[in-house]
Amino acid sequence: DAGVIQSPRHEVTEMGQEVTLRCKPISGHNSLFWYRQTMMRGLELLIYFNNNVPIDDSGMPEDRFSAKMPNASFSTLKIQPSEPRDSAVYFCASSPGGSNQPQHFGDGTRLSIL
Amino acid sequence: RKEVEQDPGPFNVPEGATVAFNCTYSNSASQSFFWYRQDCRKEPKLLMSVYSSGNEDGRFTAQLNRASQYISLLIRDSKLSDSATYLCVVNIRGGNTPLVFGKGTRLSVIA
């Protein structure tokens, strides 16, 4: 069974560049989540979607971050312009929806902004 | 008070030992509880759900104490491969809202 698929696995770019992270959730899952993980802060929820609609983006650090989910099988997280402090591992997760459902994570994108 | 709180560790235990982690949560109305495992440089993976009556999966036992608002994970006969970070996860806000992840407890099993 295909799990959550993220791309790219690694991204190294210079500050000021635009970065786009991609995610394909598990087919049939109604909820999609974007997280950022660092040693200092642990796993932080950035934004989540239910049925392709953004529900809560209060975790997005600032206006440089944006996320879209144009259809049930694809989502993007964009950082423009990127800064060194954005360096982290970004995870996408999906779940069937509902309060008793666990979330399933992709492999993550390891982002380094130089 | 943090929504989900765990002792960060590290817990360093010899192979074969029994080790237990606790996790406290802030909202007494929370309904869903999970333990995830995260290996170094990997994604979090679901280890087990935690049910009200407690549940067991091989060497792993999870328990819920609603009165004191904590969940626990017991690992018996520790293996080297159990070395990882264990994340306590709670549906703090109820309904169809995101799960809240603790910062994790690091376990190192030593030969």
Sequence-separated (6 or more) residues with CB below 8 Å from residue A44: A35, A36, A37, A38, A59
Q: Which of A100, A102, A107 sits opposite B43 (nearest CB)?
A: A107
List, for residues A36-46, the tens digit of each pLDDT value.
999 888 899 99
List, for residues B39-70, the tens digit of each pLDDT value.
999 999 999 999 888 999 999 999 999 999 99
pLDDT at B29 over 70: yes
Task: Find the residue in B nearest to A91 (Cα).
Answer: B43
**Inter-chain residue contact B99 with A31, CB threshold 8 Å:** no
d(CA B109, CA B111): 7
Determine the pLDDT at residue A40: 87
d(CA B101, CA B91): 9
Residues of A in contact with B101 (CB under 8 A): 42-43
Q: How many CB pairs under 8 A join A and B?
A: 50
Lowest mean pLDDT segment, chosen from A9-18, B7-16, B91-100: B91-100
Tokens 């491969």 found at: B81
* Higher per-residue confidence, B53 vs A88: A88
Omega within 30 of 0 (cis) for the link into A102: no
Lowest mean pLDDT segment, chosen from A108-112, B49-53, B92-96: B92-96
pLDDT at A98 over 80: no
pLDDT band at B1 (very low <50, low <70, confident <90, very high): confident
Residue type for position B2? K
pLDDT at B96 over 80: no
Rg (CA), chain A: 13
- Strand B105-110 versus strand B11-14 pairing type: parallel
d(CA B42, CA A107): 7
Determine the pLDDT at residue A1: 65
Which of residues 89 through 108 in chain B touch A, CB cutoff 8 A? 89, 91, 94-99, 101-104
Sequence-separated (6 or more) residues with CB below 8 Å from residue B67: none
Determine the pLDDT at residue A101: 87
